[in-house]
């Protein structure tokens, strides 16, 4: 089933969360926490975005980032997929690590930046894991209050949203420990946090973006609102394979993998290069997979029926 459209653009400030499948732990050892941050930094280098705050909890994480390009989904797909592959290989397991789709809220930085970073940094304290935010190792709090040469957060850009000393920021965060109000009670429509004008402008941006995304694909006009992960999930389920097999097959190409690539090209409106990045193949290999599947479906009506059955799940 198609998912709600996610607003993506340049210069958007996002609060992002993702939880473990069935709320299970996603970090078991300290090495796991470090590995996640390693993939987070690699994503930052690859996709070019700003990092303002983070906190890794046992069964979920919080990120506060600002995009330079409209590529939030690519950023998060890279992070979650890379960590899932690592986690499963390390523990000789398969299946999901994260529960469903990551959640993102667009934030008006001028109004809510400080309050949101405080919420993120107080997570370990409010969860009873640490007595102070300073005592928790896997958040960006100490990068705010201590002088560190190497940091994950972009300190210079952070000054765009507030100009207080580290000691005053520490006091601001500590004063919020007993705060009863929930910042997310102010979120509008589940995806935007800000004042009235900001909310109206953001909703207008979403409307324009949805109306502007219009592709002609295989004689059908579609909108790019079906995630590749959804397509792979349905295809792997139909062919009784694991999603990882479809993404990373290194031996002779599986029919299911070719089917998944074909369906992504047919249903998403993404370019061959974009699809190829997800499946770790070249853009020309995407075209070849599509042509191969067209030939197979022509020769074997049963395979065509299989493909149409998978497509029916997306109601396109």
- Domain containing 49 — which CATH number? 3.30.70.1290
Residue 308: predicted pLDDT: 86
Question: Do the domain assignments include residue 79?
Answer: yes
Domain-ending residue, one of 212, 230, 249: 212
Contact by Cβ (8 Å): 262, 291? no
Domain-ending residue, one of 191, 212, 233: 212
Question: Do the domain assignments include residue 2?
Answer: no
Largest CA distance in the chain: 71
Question: Do 61 and 162 lie in a common domain?
Answer: yes
Question: Do 44 and 135 lie in a common domain?
Answer: yes
Residue 148: predicted pLDDT: 76
Contact by Cβ (8 Å): 47, 71? yes
Contact by Cβ (8 Å): 53, 120? yes
- Domain containing 232 — which CATH number? 1.10.1750.10
Contact by Cβ (8 Å): 125, 132? yes
For the chain, count helices (H), then strands (E).
14, 7
Question: Do 180 and 262 lie in a common domain?
Answer: no
Each residue of 47-83: pLDDT tens digit? 999 999 999 999 999 999 999 888 999 999 999 999 9
Contact by Cβ (8 Å): 193, 183? yes
Q: What is the CA radius of gyration of the chain?
A: 21
Residue 277: predicted pLDDT: 87
Considering the entire predicted model, what is its pTM? 0.68
Residue 145: predicted pLDDT: 94
Is 168 strand, coil or helix? helix
Domain that holds residue 281: 217-312
Residue carrying structure tokens 């097999």: 245
Each residue of 4-31: pLDDT tens digit? 568 888 889 999 999 999 989 999 999 9
In residues, how long is the chain? Answer: 316
Number of domains in the chain: 2
Kindly state the helix (H) or strand (E) to which residue 55 belongs, with its residue range: strand 49-56
Q: How far apart are CA 228 and CA 77, in angstroms?
A: 10
Low-confidence ranges of the chain (pLDDT < 50): 1-2, 213-224
Residue 31: predicted pLDDT: 97
């Amino acid at each position: 089933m198609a998912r709600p459209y996610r607003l993506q653009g340049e210069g958007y400030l996002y609060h992002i969360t993702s939880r473990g499948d069935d709320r299970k732990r996603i970090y078991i050892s300290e090495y796991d926490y470090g590995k996640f941050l390693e993939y987070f930094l690699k994503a930052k280098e690859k996709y070019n975005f700003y990092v303002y705050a983070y906190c890794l909890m046992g069964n979920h994480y919080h990120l506060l980032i600002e995009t330079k390009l409209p590529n939030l989904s690519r950023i998060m797909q890279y992070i979650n997929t890379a960590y899932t592959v690592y986690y499963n290989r390390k523990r000789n397991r398969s299946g999901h690590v994260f529960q469903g789709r990551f959640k993102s809220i667009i934030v008006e930085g001028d109004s809510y930046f400080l309050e949101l970073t405080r919420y993120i940094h107080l997570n370990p304290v409010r969860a009873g894991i640490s007595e102070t935010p300073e005592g928790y190792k896997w958040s960006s709090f100490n990068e705010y209050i201590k002088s560190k040469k190497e940091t994950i957060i972009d300190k210079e850009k952070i000054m765009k949203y507030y100009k207080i000393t580290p000691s005053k920021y520490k006091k601001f965060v500590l004063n919020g420990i007993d705060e009863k109000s929930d910042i997310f009670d102010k979120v509008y429509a589940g995806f935007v946090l800000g004042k009235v004008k900001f909310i109206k402008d953001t909703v207008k941006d979403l409307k324009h973006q949805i109306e502007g995304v219009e592709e002609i694909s295989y004689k059908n006009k579609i909108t790019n609102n079906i995630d590749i992960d959804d397509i792979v999930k349905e295809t792997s389920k139909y062919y009784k394979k694991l999603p990882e097999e479809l993404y990373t097959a290194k031996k002779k190409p599986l029919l299911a993998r070719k089917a998944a690539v074909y369906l992504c090209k047919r249903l998403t409106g993404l370019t061959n290069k974009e699809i190829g990045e997800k499946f770790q193949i070249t853009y020309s290999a995407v075209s070849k997979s599509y042509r191969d599947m067209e030939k197979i479906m022509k020769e074997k009506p049963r395979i065509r029926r299989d493909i149409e059955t998978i497509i029916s799940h997306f109601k396109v």
